[in-house]
Amino acid sequence: MTSPAYDDGPIAALRRIAFLLERGREDTYKVKAFRGAAAALLPLDPDDVAAHVEQGTLSSIPGVGASSAAVVSDAVRGRMPERLSRLEAEHGGDLTAGGHDLLGQLRGDLHSHSDWSDGGSPIEEMAFTALELSREYQVLTDHSPRLKVARGLSAERLARQLDVVDAVNGQLDGSGFTLLKGIEVDILDDGSLDQTEEMLQRLDVRVASVHSKLRMDAPAMTRRMVAAVQNPLVDVLGHCTGRLVTGGRGKRPESEFDARAVFEACAETGTAVEINSRPERRDPPTRLLELARDIGCLFAIDTDAHAPGQLDFLAYGAERAEAAGIDPDRIVTTWPKDRLLEWAGRPVEAG
């Protein structure tokens, strides 16, 4: 049987394979192999790559292994790579049965990570993928310094990152997409935030999350979360219970706190409750999602993506929000960029 034609080139084929592997939550080492091969080919002249294909010497290029070489050979010859065809069938379709109408209304995502902290890809790769997914904006929210296991950003590193974001936006000028400046800032034990006020004020959007002492007793955890939500520099309360329901990291129970008190504080301050779309989190649980809905909270459907393919996880959050009957206009990630930035910069004095 003749292979279908393919004319997007070898680098696009390798990137698409990596994206589909991430989207399907496959092993990270496989993803790195294909992304590494794409990076190895990027500076090469296409004619030189074609010569390697004809001579059978692709594997002599550092970073190109046997599986990647097979993909490149097919793509250079205008044939659909078998690996790509198989992954499109396995992972290229709809991720969910529901939520499609709401998914179509989402304009962006307020929570994502790069290799500056614990993400797996450079900032520009995350931004280019968000653009390819027709997003209007993506917020880069690498971790704050206390989370050392995730290589959290000191104020100095965050300041340098902001310059990189400006440079990426310069490359994408005119595309209709903007990479916004943000952070996932740790909520410390007393409810204060793990970054300087000066740096937090320089950002477009701030997600605040609990990452430590998740088993703190309920009254103390409630005070901690309410204090954070009431800080005028917090825009989104991230994965509020901290639970894990499946996945390679195992399961983790919900943190205990007075959800009504926390969500009432969110409603009062205009802080959005994150609907974390990662399949292993599904946070908040349905009963708390419905409680926040009934209290009148705003919401942000976010991917918490640590890799480009995970930027498609918005579908999971959209399905849950639609099933809960949440009005799309209460979901800040359905808002256009200017409205989002006006909300995130709402005029309240810090301190």
Average the pLDDT over 211-237 and give the result.
97
- Percentage of the chain lying above the pLDDT 90 cut: 93
pLDDT at 158 over 90: yes
Binning pLDDT at 50, 70 and 90, where does residue 349 land? Answer: very low
Q: What is the pLDDT, as a whole number, of residue 149?
A: 87
State the DSSP H helix or E strand holding residue 75, giving kind and residue range, or none if neither.
helix 66-76
| Contacts (Cβ under 8 Å, ≥6 apart) of 315 | 94, 95, 96, 99, 103, 277
The pLDDT of residue 247: 75
Confidence of residue 347 (pLDDT cuts 50, 70, 90): low
- Smallest CA-to-CA distance from 8 within 76, 83, 90 is with 76
- When pLDDT is averaged across residues 53-57 and rounded to a whole number, the result is 97
| pLDDT higher than 60, residue 226 | yes
* pLDDT over 60 (residue 296): yes
For residue 348, pLDDT over 70 is answered with no
Model confidence over 81-122: pLDDT tens digits?
999 999 999 999 999 999 999 999 999 999 999 999 999 899
Q: What is the pLDDT of residue 284?
A: 98
pTM of the model: 0.93
Q: Are 243 and 285 contacting, i.e. CB atoms less than 8 angstroms apart? A: yes
- Given a cut of 90, is residue 248 above it in pLDDT? no
Q: Which residues are CB-neighbours of 156 under 8 A, at least 6 positions away?
A: none
